[in-house]
C-alpha cells in the first residue's frame, strides 16, 4: 500500500508526491542541518567549566589589583595624619542652625511642596 501526500506548492498543478520521497528529503535536510551545526561547533571554541572559572578568577584578580592601585593613589594624595590614623573614624558634626534659619527652612519646605 502506497501513501501519497499533496504538497502545498504543488496543489495548483495537482502533482502528487509519494511519502517515501518526502521522508527521504526530510532525512537529507536533517543530515545537512546536523552537519552544519557540528561545523559551527567545531569553529567556535567551546566554553568549558575550567575556562569559565579561570576567566572569573582572572577578573577577580584584576579587580583586586585595580582596587589596591586606587587605594594607594588615594593615600598618596592624603596628609600624614590620615595615613597614620587610617583605621580610626572621627565624626564631624554639623553646626546647629539658629532658630530663625530652621524656621525659614521649614516655611520654605511647606510652600515649595505645592
Helix (H, G, I), strand (E, B) or coil at 4: strand
Residue 46 — pLDDT band, cuts 50, 70, 90? Answer: low
Query: Could you tell me if 8 and 22 lie in one domain?
Result: yes
Supply the pTM of this predicted model: 0.33
Please give the tally of structural domains in the chain.
Answer: 2
Tell me, yes or no, whether 94 lies in a domain. Answer: no
Asked if the model's pLDDT at residue 1 lies above 50, the reply is no
Residue 111 domain flag? no
SS3 2: coil
**Which range in 7-16, 34-43, 100-109 is most confidently predicted, on average pLDDT?**
100-109
Mean per-residue pLDDT, 13-41: 80
With beta carbons less than 8 A apart as the criterion, state whether 50 and 58 touch: no
Residue 6 is predicted with a pLDDT of 45
The answer to whether 17 and 6 are in contact (CB under 8 A) is yes
Q: Would you place residue 59 in the very low, low, confident or very high pLDDT band (cuts 50, 70, 90)? A: very high
Helix (H) or strand (E) holding 64: helix 49-76
Residues of the domain holding 57: 47-74
CA distance 30 to 22: 12
On whether residue 105 sits in a domain, the answer given is: no
Query: At residue 4, what are phi and psi to the nearest 5 degrees?
Result: -115, 145
79 lies in some domain: no
Amino acid at each position: 500500500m502506497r501513501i501519497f501526500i499533496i504538497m502545498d506548492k504543488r496543489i495548483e498543478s495537482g502533482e502528487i508526491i509519494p511519502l517515501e520521497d518526502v521522508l527521504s528529503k526530510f532525512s537529507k535536510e536533517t543530515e545537512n542541518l546536523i552537519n552544519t551545526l557540528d561545523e559551527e561547533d567545531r569553529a567556535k571554541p567551546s566554553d568549558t567549566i575550567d575556562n569559565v572559572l579561570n576567566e572569573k578568577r582572572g577578573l577577580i584578580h584584576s579587580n583586586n589589583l585595580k582596587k589596591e592601585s586606587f587605594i594607594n593613589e588615594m593615600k598618596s594624595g592624603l596628609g600624614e595624619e590620615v595615613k597614620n590614623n587610617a583605621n580610626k573614624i572621627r565624626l564631624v558634626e554639623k553646626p546647629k542652625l539658629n532658630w530663625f534659619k530652621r524656621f525659614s527652612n521649614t516655611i520654605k519646605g511647606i510652600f515649595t511642596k505645592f
